Amino acid sequence: MGNPFGFMEYERKEPLCSSVSERIKNYNEFHTPLSQKEQKIQGERCMNCGVPFCQSGMMIGGMISGCPLNNLVPEWNYLVSIGAWKQAYERLKLTNNFPEFTSRVCPALCEKACTCGVNGEPVTTRSNEYSIIENAYKEGYAMPQPPKVRTGKKIAVIGSGPSGLAAADQLNKRGHSVTVYERSDRVGGLLMYGIPNMKLEKHVVNRKIDIMKAEGITFISNTDVGKDISAEDILKQYDRVILACGASNPRDIAVKGREANGIYFAVDFLKSTTKALLDNSEDYISAKDKNVIVIGGGDTGNDCVGTCVRHGAKSIVQLEMMPKLPETRAENNPWPEYPRVFKTDYGQEEAAEVYGNDPRVYQTTVKEFLSDENNNLTGAVLVKVKFEGGKIVQVENSEYTVNADLVLIAAGFLGSESYISQAFDIQTDKRTNIFTEKNSHKTSKDRIYTAGDVHIGQSLVVRAIREGRDCAKEVDFDLMGYTNL
């Protein structure tokens, strides 16, 4: 460690955040990074623990504790503390293909498991990571490095989200020729269209894609494998195929009046806004001057809230079926488990300031949607719920009606869309995820592999990257008989 007393001498300091009144005027990222001098001081707070849970990535209490990529956190925190920025970048890139993404959108599992957080504030590992990668771009360390030797092996990756990109990046570095297929008009999967600009501006995604292209990876967009091109044609052209299509089958809410106009899935709503911004278009699902209900209390629901605030919604209500979490860890949720505690994210913070109250309503769901004679949404009947016998049940006589012109369903995902697995004739599990044996990415069909949400279900960007890396290692071993990935 750079300073064995750093965690006692210095307080945690995070990047500055723009005021709500300023940041809701646009869709830009709204954090101002610390200076390198300030970031070095934050690096000094790392204790280089004997048992660094920050990089463990273990399942504890049914939740991930520490970084799923096993990032060498204490090592590059130390290198930041002494100003060795290039060496810090090299250590970071050993385990993480895309720190420009994770340093912006990851929930910082490393910080939740930081020893300094047991009795104080954890190390600012995520902002340290941000400073490392952005400095690398500034100084030229992150520029293209194409492989010097090609193996002659050809691999198709279906899907350009974080798992597909990670697998492609790894296999290309090994010298294989990789082609990535994307059904949307732009590459990036959920990085492009599932995460709002406020969290991840799209020039950051394009910057990395351009580097990957310069390193020799081919990207083919506007091509839906299984529809625009057959699985048979793909298998004829490539030695191996990786399905990294994501868990893009949204969970619906089956209640009376669901067919009313004005009810959308969250992913469609968020994509329409992002695409309109990129295309400089006015064609998007608008929340302006509307009473909005967001169904779902997770990150996607919060992103919908923040987007609706920027649209100029009249009001926003966010429904959460679970009870409100405690402010501090409960006795049955000790460190280093992931903390199940109450948090207010950027969208909720913005809605609270704009509308005067936190938009979240707990232990509540929709019982019925109301519409007019033209089937346009006008309101919703809400009902309180509780847990009884391990099931969620409605509380009798707790119904009440609210106005609603727009409803966004952010209730998670059920799994993959079936046409991909059907096209390749591969086995799926009960959740419609592509089936593999435990600790494997090989599907039920020879030469076909899988990675990411389509394999493990809806999860985090950082887990998707790990999935892509692990899958690439298996594919490389299969092709070459050994692997150095």
Report the DSSP beta bridge partners of residue 362. 320
Confidence (pLDDT) at 440: 97
Q: What is the mean pLDDT of residues 308-328?
A: 97
Q: What is the mean pLDDT of residues 48-72?
A: 93
Q: Is pLDDT at 327 greater than 90 in this prediction?
A: yes
Round the average pLDDT of the chain to a whole number and report it: 96
Confidence (pLDDT) at 136: 98
pLDDT in tens, 19-43: 999 999 999 999 999 999 999 999 9
Confidence (pLDDT) at 50: 86
Q: To the nearest whole percent, how much of the chain has pLDDT over 70?
A: 100
Confidence (pLDDT) at 295: 98
Confidence (pLDDT) at 86: 98
Q: Is pLDDT at 414 greater than 90 in this prediction?
A: no
Note the helical H segments in 15-141. 20-23, 36-44, 73-81, 85-93, 99-105, 109-112, 125-139
Domains of the chain from N-terminus onward: 6-139 (1.10.1060.10), 154-248+414-480 (3.50.50.60), 252-411 (3.50.50.60)
Indicate the range of 343-347, 431-435, 442-446, 459-463 predicted with least confidence. 431-435
pLDDT in tens, 122-149: 999 999 999 999 999 999 999 999 999 9
Q: Is pLDDT at 1 greater than 80 in this prediction?
A: no
DSSP reduced 3-state for 385: strand
Q: Is pLDDT at 390 greater than 90 in this prediction?
A: no
Confidence (pLDDT) at 416: 82
Residue 28, burial from CB neighbour count under 10 angstroms (0-12, 13-18, 19+): exposed
**Could you tell me the pLDDT band of residue 415, with boundaries at 50, 70 and 90?**
confident
- Total-model pTM: 0.96
Confidence (pLDDT) at 4: 87
DSSP reduced 3-state for 53: helix
Residue 108: C-alpha distances to residues 124, 129, 235, 339, 405 (Å): 9, 10, 38, 12, 36
Q: To the nearest whole percent, how much of the chain has pLDDT over 90?
A: 94
- Distance separating alpha carbons of residues 218 and 479, to the nearest angstrom: 20
Structure tokens at 101: 């993404």
Q: Is pLDDT at 2 greater than 80 in this prediction?
A: no
Q: What is the mean pLDDT of residues 252-271?
A: 97
Note the helical H segments in 186-255. 190-193, 202-214, 231-237
pLDDT in tens, 68-89: 999 999 999 999 999 999 999 9
CB contact at 8 A, 466 and 167: no
Indicate the range of 46-50, 153-157, 309-313, 415-419 predicted with least confidence. 415-419
Cβ neighbours of residue 159 under 8 Å, at least 6 residues apart? 180, 181, 182, 189, 243, 244, 245, 246, 452, 454
Q: Which of 204, 82, 203, 38 has the alpha carbon at shortest distance from 133?
A: 204
pLDDT in tens, 152-169: 999 999 999 999 999 999
